[in-house]
Structure 1
Amino acid sequence: MKQVDVLVIGAGPSGTVASTYLANQGYNVMVVEKTSFPRYVIGESLLPLSMAHFEEVGLLPALEEQKFEVKEGALFIKDGKEFRIAFDDNFTEGWTWTWQVPRSQFDKALADAAEKKGVKIKYLSTLRSIDFDSEDAVKFEVNTQKGVEEYTCKYVIDSSGYGGVLTKMLDIPMHVAPTSNMATYVKLNDDTRDKWENPTQISFEILKTDLWLWVIPFNNGNTSLGFVGNKKYFSEFLEEGADITTCFNNMFEHSIKFKDRFKDREFLWEPKVHKDYMRSSEKFFGDRFVLTGNTTEFLDPVFSSGVAFATESGLKAAKLVERELNDEKVNWQKDYVDHLEYGIDVFRTYVKEWYSGDLQKIFFHVNVNPLVKKQLTSVLAGYVWDKENPFVRKHKTIINTLAQVVDIEKMKA
């Protein structure tokens, strides 16, 4: 029976950050990944918060070599009006730019760099069984291309995302939040982009208060497109025998900014449709295991929080696992769960107020206070743990209160 110190499930951003941190500390880390890389996955818009995580574990140089499209902020559009944020004009000290990335290339670059740091990654492999009964070691079996392999380890980090490997094996309830929203997305070869102004600007067009379009251009000439919103706008997608490509193209009738650029273009594959994506695990940790990334919770695509929470939770979990392996006492509820849930709760408020329309009112108010804009920008850059920022500290009330002020000012105008 082979031995490793830590088993990590999943070689996405959360798993590679966690495994690389531990390998840097001298631990023998093995990652089990069910697919082969490169592979497609959604979540292509990063936040500056993650850059510090990549830098800390030594993965940043490998990513810089890829020369991804730089993301210095974001453009929000509604009824022809624009609200632009720049990450270098924010309230919180930290990274002021990031990337917009094709995840197939991005995740492979991360995984390859992790292997160079000493992480062992087993591709096309799945966890067959796991046994936490022994106090001495966790026993597990892995299905590989060569057959079944038996191992022991001291700790398990589940970064398997929607796969939820441990949540299924250990019967941990995964709650799917009731939501009226759904998403559909695709990629295309954006070979005519140079005809348009600022063609590589990441943009979010608000088509209705509860319907929006993302446009994420990549450095390889492709662009990611996605519509997200209330299911009432997607009824034809749900009809039996629906032509999903036609349905997707019909959605551009809602768009002022991007209809001419993208309608009736040839896509790289049939658009994907995703429902019931808001979910959370009832349990984030247990005896010698911890869940990270989308395995714990996923909110909504609107503010690109997925990878940010993946790397934050992966790095935080790895540091706490290191302490446990050094026989230190760790309060997982306080140091891990409460920490993550604070940031998740902040973003949950912003998602809620986005679809309520209150956040949109503030964005497109003609007299946005410069300090307010800085503080909002910090939240949208991922700095949702900065309690010096009132838009973090008072997140439950401040958006609604400010939206009411905007309404009053409009009435007076």
Structure 2
Amino acid sequence: MNRSLTWAQIDLNAIRHNFRVLRRLAGKTKILIVIKADAYGHGMPPIAKLLVKEKVDFIGLSNLTEGVALRQTGIRTPVLLFETTLPEQAKDIVDYDLTPTVCSLELARALDKYARQQGRLVDIHVKADTGMGRLGVWHEEALDFIKKLSRLRNLRVQGICTHFPSADTDRAFTQRQIQQLTRLVQKIREGGLAVPYVHAANSMGLAGYPNKILNLARPGLMLYGLYPRPGLEKKIALRPAMSVHSRIIFLKRIEKGRSISYGRTFIARRPMTVATLPIGYSDGYLRGLSGKADVLIGGKRCPVLGRVTMDQIVVDVSKIKNPRLGMPVVILGKQGEEGVCAYELAQLAHTIPYEIVCSLGSRLPKVYKRVNIHDFNVGSRGKEQGSRNKKP
């Protein structure tokens, strides 16, 4: 039994559809699917198991903690850790058969030393910084760095990568990054070094920057049915995988002049009927949506009134015919002909769709619409257990 009155529903059929779209988009290029941050709030274990059934080439995660958690589910698909780490984590990286991104000789030497003790050859990827300025060796210095790594006998440079910071807004800069990476790869090959994979194409890179040098695509956002840039929906048919649902827990009539929520930012200008919903910023519904967003009730838009509080919001249901306790509410998704999408909420909250789904999905219990219920370790009703304030 799902005891929560607010939950995120994850459509695994949509995930499978989106993966197949991405696979076709990538063509002959191998594909690495990013499922870090609990699969952007969609739940890492079920998403990973589906991807394995779909024969994904690589899985991308952020760090060692995520990598160990995935390995403990029994999945053996190659896993790339995007975030470089400290030498002290070298043992676990090798023991759990994870592929690290290496940006320092200290980490490389620690990996090589432990791999040699275990009689192992460890694949690594090197990040060349072409403009993100966050992690990685500057692309001008990357060739010398890779030459030094090549002397470590128990490491193999399997891939070299960079990251696009503005693929959705600055085409010229992104093209320049691709050119810098291309020149680096050419120099590596001229030096007699073989690096099998070259990658940089996130969702926007895959959709908008076809090129010959990149041979490993690594989309993330589009797997979940979200677009990195408005307008792409006209070219690529994705299905949103997450919807968020709730129910009315309280109704009241308020008169003109009454105030609602903290700070009394909303004062009624007319008599109204309002409903209280059990979702707030503790559930990932951003406070920046206060007085801006709509929810869907009875197939109609109902505005959020006043400030979002920790556990509840109040909405105007004056236009709803016969509102009642327990009435279904859609916070994110479609109801009838109306819809509230992550991009809409992101614009209202001055953020990005990533934050919308990560925030809601990481804090609400998740209910899965399954491709095949027997493929997943869940309860007999196909629902993953959890409380409103904890990850399932």
* TM-score for both structures, normalised by structure 2: 0.24
Higher helix content, 1 or 2: 1
Asked which structure has the greater CA Rg, the reply is: 2
Higher relative contact order (CA 8 A, sep 6+): 1
